[in-house]
A and B are shown apart, each in its own frame.
Chain A
């Protein structure tokens, strides 16, 4: 499928993070560009896979600005600048983040949470209400708008957490293991949610982690494997990128899952086992 790569939307440069002297991730560098397709709105879907404890969650916290790296930097597009390819260092709130527990404000109803997420947007109260109602309807949450998080199912909480982040942050959204513990129906709902986001704006970018490699290969157009690198024959004990699969280059993005995808799944699994 034809596509064009435009400006850089995410640039991670030599990122390293340590906690209490223990290096968790080191030397992480990658770049993602805005993908466009003719007559189609195409956001980016980037997957991070890797075995447990390899530093995916730490990397995500750095990408969202929640953790300051010991070295390196995370740059995202500066949408307020008129200069071409201008970037700014990520800070808290620039990138949406939905954690594994779909954390919400326990004392706010869905409607109150959405209103809070929109509080810094320069739109009128009527526009905010219209926007909230539209999302409530499209995401099947209309009936539950006055419910508190403790009164919602896991799927409803997850959808609320995603919309809240869409309202608050810009075009970037990170989801830490969004498919973990979901049944088949809810997995389909999350896949639909991904489509809703990426079909909305060219710059919308979803970054997610998963242990389900088939799902990563099916959904993502760029996949990174985080693992322990082997240096001089010895396995290091920090996480870094050990493999990158560009599904667009392979011609597998936006296509139905088939044998070629399965080959990629196999390669990724092998890389994971070795790291």
Chain B
């Protein structure tokens, strides 16, 4: 009884087993509500679990895995380009003459998508390349902002420590900012990945190109196939969370000292 009371006490520490029980309860509540409400609702705004399952099977038969691969490949290429671009810009930001680029890149996050796509259409003729560059531009602006904040938050003592160990200024940059904060970069990529993953589906559905999860959503949307739409949302969420989990675990395994 006391244990249950503790579930409702603010700031109460609970162990992993109790935490599992709480999650299980909420899982059952949500799914129970879904099962009951889908059966009772007359408007059919929300599909029943059976409809979602059917939608998922249909999607699988229509090549869902290939579309997931296509989206992941697009995401990976966009991430690689934007991470490289943002890291170069940010790592050079401590150089006063080059700081300009990082500041400008960070401010560009307020630019609207439409304006950017207009110029990209003129410059790029391949739909897929355009999707990549739309994502690169967006992710780079957010990544640059987060990376700049990371550099700004490094305590002055860490720079001074490197300097007292006879590091010249470039060595300080290498040891303290680049090598010393690799785990932070992974964490920042993980946090910004959610934006890219969300944008990716939008970009795929806006720009006509071959395949991808966004393309599938757009198609399902057109025919008001609720079961497929929710099934796709669940797939997209699961893939996104899996990438997030893999990145977080990788950081913890690769960098034992990382206590973020």
Chain A interface residues (CB < 8 Å from chain B): 61, 64, 66, 92-93, 95-97, 99, 101, 103-107, 116-117, 120, 148-151, 164-165, 168-169
Contact = CB atoms under 8 A, between A and B. Distances in A.
Contacts of A164: 165
A93 B163 contact: yes
Interface residues of B, number: 21
Nearest to B160: A66
Contacts of A95: 164
Given A92-B163, A168-B164, A103 B155 contact: yes
13 contacts: A92-B163, A95-B164, A97-B164, A99-B157, A103-B157, A103-B161, A107-B179, A107-B255, A107-B257, A149-B257, A151-B257, A164-B165, A168-B164
Contact of A106 (B163, B166, B180): B180
Given A148-B256, A148-B257, A149-B257, A105 B161 contact: yes
Q: Give me the 7 closest cross-chain CB pairs, A-B, nearest first.
A: A93-B166, A148-B257, A103-B161, A103-B157, A97-B164, A92-B163, A168-B165
Contacts of A165: 164-165
Contact of B164 (A116, A151, A169): A169
A106 B257 contact: yes
Nearest to A116: B165
Interface string B175-197: 11001101100000000000000
Contacts of B175: 105, 116
Given A99-B160, A106-B180, A107-B182, A150 B259 contact: yes
B158 interface: yes
Given A92-B163, A116-B165, A168-B165, A107 B158 contact: no
A112 to B, nearest CB: 11
A90 to B, nearest CB: 11
Of B155, B182, B256, B257, chain A has the most CB atoms within 10 Å of the CB of B257
A66 B167 CA distance: 12
A150 B157 contact: no
Given A93-B163, A105-B176, 19 more contacts: A66-B160, A92-B164, A92-B166, A93-B166, A97-B161, A99-B160, A99-B161, A104-B161, A105-B161, A105-B180, A106-B257, A107-B180, A107-B183, A107-B255, A116-B165, A150-B257, A164-B165, A165-B165, A168-B164
B157 A64 contact: no
Contact of A97 (B158, B160, B256): B160
A168 B163 CA distance: 11
A150 B257 CA distance: 6
A66 B176 CA distance: 16
Contacts of A66: 160, 163-164
Of B164, B176, B257, chain A has the most CB atoms within 10 Å of the CB of B164
Contacts of B256: 148
B154 to A, nearest CB: 10
Contacts of A168: 164-166
Contacts of B164: 64, 66, 92-93, 95-97, 165, 168-169
A101 B158 CA distance: 10
Nearest to A109: B257
